[in-house]
């Protein structure tokens, strides 16, 4: 198979860095997928583009990235005119305030950070107004950390069931960020717990719920996440380098 043509990056080392980092991530993705009994193409890569300049994002897209994730509504909307998004799905992965729902519904393919019924109802209401169905993931605070958003693990099933009854919104899976762990075994246990929750909800076969994505794993732990069942990883610094403050 011929390699995908890549733009000339000789004049800008940042572009070359993105190319090389993407190749490395895809290699490790594929390796972990095979070890987990799946195919490399079973894993979706979502490039986290928080604070990343549009030219770097566009280069990643030219290199084959077809999904990006933004943390902040206003940052994404300000960058959007400069992004080449014709064949790219955009996910909102950061915490979403209800007063920002109207601005983002219809602008992204998915909202990964739905963690309370009040937010889901507002997404439902605005989506209905706009004649849309907004796809979402329920964010689970698997480590029950006060510093992180997300619904507690033991309340996730009930939230999914409540959202399933709303029009204009559809749950397509779960998202989570585990606590910082000292060992690979510790983080894998959190990922394993998330995978079991995902399977438990999927087994319910709820109407208006399509358990398609288990979004977990970022730059430092995406390989462990894949080994424990993730099928959507969210690398950022591993692809674009350290973020600017």
* pLDDT reported for residue 158: 98
Low-confidence ranges of the chain (pLDDT < 50): 1-6
Q: What is the model's pLDDT at position 1?
A: 36
Strand partners, 44: 232
Quick check: 211 and 198 in contact, CB under 8 A?
A: yes
* Burial of 217 from C-beta contacts in 10 A (0-12 / 13-18 / 19+): buried
Topology annotation, domain 13-240: TIM Barrel (3.20.20)
* pLDDT at residue 146, rounded to an integer: 85
Is 0.75 topped by the overall pTM?
Answer: yes
- Whether residue 126 contacts residue 101, with contact meaning beta carbons closer than 8 Å, is answered with yes
Report the C-alpha gap between 28 and 34 in whole angstroms: 10
- Cα–Cα distance list, 235 to 65, 89, 117, 220 (Å): 12, 15, 28, 8
For residue 5, what pLDDT is reported?
Answer: 44
What digits encode the pLDDT tens for the residues 85-121?
999 999 999 999 999 999 999 999 999 999 999 999 9
- The CB density around residue 41, as the number of other CB atoms within 10 Å, is 9
Using the Cα atoms of residue 50, residue 51, residue 55 and residue 59 in order, give the sign of their dihedral: negative
pLDDT at position 116 is 97
């Amino acid at each position: 198979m011929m390699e995908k043509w890549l733009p000339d990056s000789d004049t800008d080392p940042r572009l070359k860095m993105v190319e090389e980092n993407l190749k490395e991530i895809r290699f490790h993705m594929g390796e972990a997928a095979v070890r987990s009994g799946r195919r490399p193409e079973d894993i979706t890569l979502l490039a986290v583009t928080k604070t990343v300049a549009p030219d770097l994002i566009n280069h990643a897209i030219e290199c084959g990235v077809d999904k990006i994730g933004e943390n902040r509504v206003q940052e994404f909307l300000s960058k959007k005119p400069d992004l080449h998004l014709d064949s790219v799905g955009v996910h909102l992965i950061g915490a979403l305030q209800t007063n920002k729902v109207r601005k983002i519904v219809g602008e992204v393919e998915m909202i990964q950070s739905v963690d309370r019924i009040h937010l889901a109802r507002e997404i439902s209401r605005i989506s209905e107004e706009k004649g849309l169905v907004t796809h979402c993931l329920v964010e689970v605070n698997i480590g029950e950390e006060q510093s992180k958003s997300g619904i507690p693990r033991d309340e996730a099933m009930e939230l999914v069931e409540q959202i399933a009854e709303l029009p204009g919104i559809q749950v397509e899976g779960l998202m989570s960020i585990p606590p910082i762990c000292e060992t690979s075994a510790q983080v894998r246990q959190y990922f394993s717990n998330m995978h079991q929750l995902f399977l438990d909800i999927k087994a319910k076969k709820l109407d208006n719920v399509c358990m398609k994505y288990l979004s977990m794993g970022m730059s430092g732990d995406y390989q462990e996440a894949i080994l424990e069942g993730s099928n959507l990883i969210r690398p950022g610094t591993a692809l674009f380098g350290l973020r600017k403050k």
